[in-house]
């Protein structure tokens, strides 16, 4: 089957229409992979639903309506609200039992999802994913693992998430660690950009210009690593002249323990995901 046929006549539903749902949904809409009238969204507030109505998607306050209408259902609520959202996702009358569920929820394991979703449909096929918000601008990363999925489901998953960035399947045991980098990473990137811009503002560069320059520096550095495939340390060495200005800046970063801080950030986020995995088992 051609990629373009995979989602033909398929309805994609989102339970929870917030930031992550918007990054995924608006990202794939921009790519033209699905039409707005093939999307169903449920959320709690009119404010969130109106964002989706404005792009022509179908909206409802009833989670079970999304389950009934959709072939592929993305679970996009906060981990603490998942049980509550799923309680209201059980259709009042029998619906097609063949559904693919894609969870984006941090920490919630395939086993936990299996137990919870089996109360909604008898044979849930499940993907546990960790996407990130840059999907919205087609520069995302999604890591995932799956259970009871078909070859077709895997192809759908790749189509949905590769269209807006990198999408890679990994072992479930690595999900929380990978998510600490990919899912949480944009926040660290924003902080680094903001801090670099602050430094430039301190030296007299206007704020807007400083932020634009700092963001482009990170985009450029990332692309250099991906496209040249050189080690980041080598690329760093290539811009550090002996006794030059860049090595002076590098020394300042090392004095501030920037590497240890970033490594600690990954460890802290992964530990918190592990805690969430334990607390969302039931």
User: Which residues contact ligand NAP (rule: CB under 6 A)?
Assistant: 15-21, 42-45, 48, 63, 76-79, 81, 84-85, 104-106, 130-133, 183
For residues 81 and 137, which CB has a smaller minimum distance to ligand NAP in the complex? 81
C-beta pairs of 189-196 under 8 Å, 24+ apart in sequence: 189/218, 192/218, 193/218
For residues 163 and 273, which CB has a smaller minimum distance to ligand NAP in the complex? 273
- Asked if residues 108 and 79 have their Cβ atoms less than 8 Å apart, the reply is yes
With the C-alpha atoms ordered 198, 204, 210, 213, is the resulting torsion angle positive or negative?
negative
* Nearest distance in Å: CB 176, ligand NAP: 11
For residues 170 and 250, which CB has a smaller minimum distance to ligand NAP in the complex? 170
- Asked if residues 42 and 14 have their Cβ atoms less than 8 Å apart, the reply is yes
For residues 178 and 214, which CB has a smaller minimum distance to ligand NAP in the complex? 178
Tokens 């918190």 found at: 272
Tokens 């086993």 found at: 111
Residue 248's contacts (CB-CB under 8 Å, 6 or more residues apart) are none
Three-state secondary-structure class, residue 184: coil
For residues 19 and 271, which CB has a smaller minimum distance to ligand NAP in the complex? 19
Task: Give the whole-angstrom CA distance, residue 121 versus residue 118.
Answer: 5
- Asked if residues 241 and 247 have their Cβ atoms less than 8 Å apart, the reply is yes
* Nearest distance in Å: CB 24, ligand NAP: 9
* Nearest distance in Å: CB 110, ligand NAP: 15
* Nearest distance in Å: CB 248, ligand NAP: 35
Residue closest to ligand NAP, measured at CB: 18
For residues 85 and 167, which CB has a smaller minimum distance to ligand NAP in the complex? 85
- Asked if residues 3 and 167 have their Cβ atoms less than 8 Å apart, the reply is no
* Nearest distance in Å: CB 186, ligand NAP: 6
* Nearest distance in Å: CB 88, ligand NAP: 6
């Amino acid at each position: 089957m051609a990629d373009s046929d995979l989602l033909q006549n398929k309805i994609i539903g989102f339970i929870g229409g917030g930031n992550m749902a918007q990054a995924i949904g608006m990202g794939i809409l921009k790519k033209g992979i699905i039409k707005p009238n093939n999307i169903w969204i449920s959320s709690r507030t009119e404010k969130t639903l109106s964002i989706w109505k404005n792009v022509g998607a179908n909206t409802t306050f009833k989670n079970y309506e999304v389950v009934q209408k959709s072939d592929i259902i993305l679970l996009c609520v906060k981990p603490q609200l998942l049980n509550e959202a799923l309680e209201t996702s059980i259709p009042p009358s029998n619906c097609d039992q063949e559904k693919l569920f894609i969870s984006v929820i941090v920490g919630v394991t395939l086993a936990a999802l299996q137990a919870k979703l089996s109360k909604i449909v008898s044979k849930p096929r499940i993907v546990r994913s960790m996407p990130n918000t840059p999907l919205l601008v087609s520069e995302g990363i999604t890591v995932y693992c799956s259970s009871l999925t078909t070859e077709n489901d895997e192809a759908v998953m790749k189509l949905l998430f590769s269209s807006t960035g990198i999408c890679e399947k990994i072992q479930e045991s690595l999900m929380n660690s990978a998510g600490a980098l990919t899912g949480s990473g944009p926040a660290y990137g924003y902080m680094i950009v903001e801090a670099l811009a602050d430094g430039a503002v301190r030296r007299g560069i206007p704020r807007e210009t400083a932020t634009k320059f700092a963001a482009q520096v990170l985009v450029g550095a990332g692309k250099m690593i991906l496209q040249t495939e050189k080690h980041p340390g080598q690329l760093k060495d290539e811009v550090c002249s002996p006794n030059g200005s860049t090595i002076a800046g590098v020394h300042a970063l090392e004095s501030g323990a920037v590497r240890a801080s970033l490594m600690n950030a990954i460890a802290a986020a992964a530990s918190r995901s592990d805690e969430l995995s334990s607390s969302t088992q039931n």
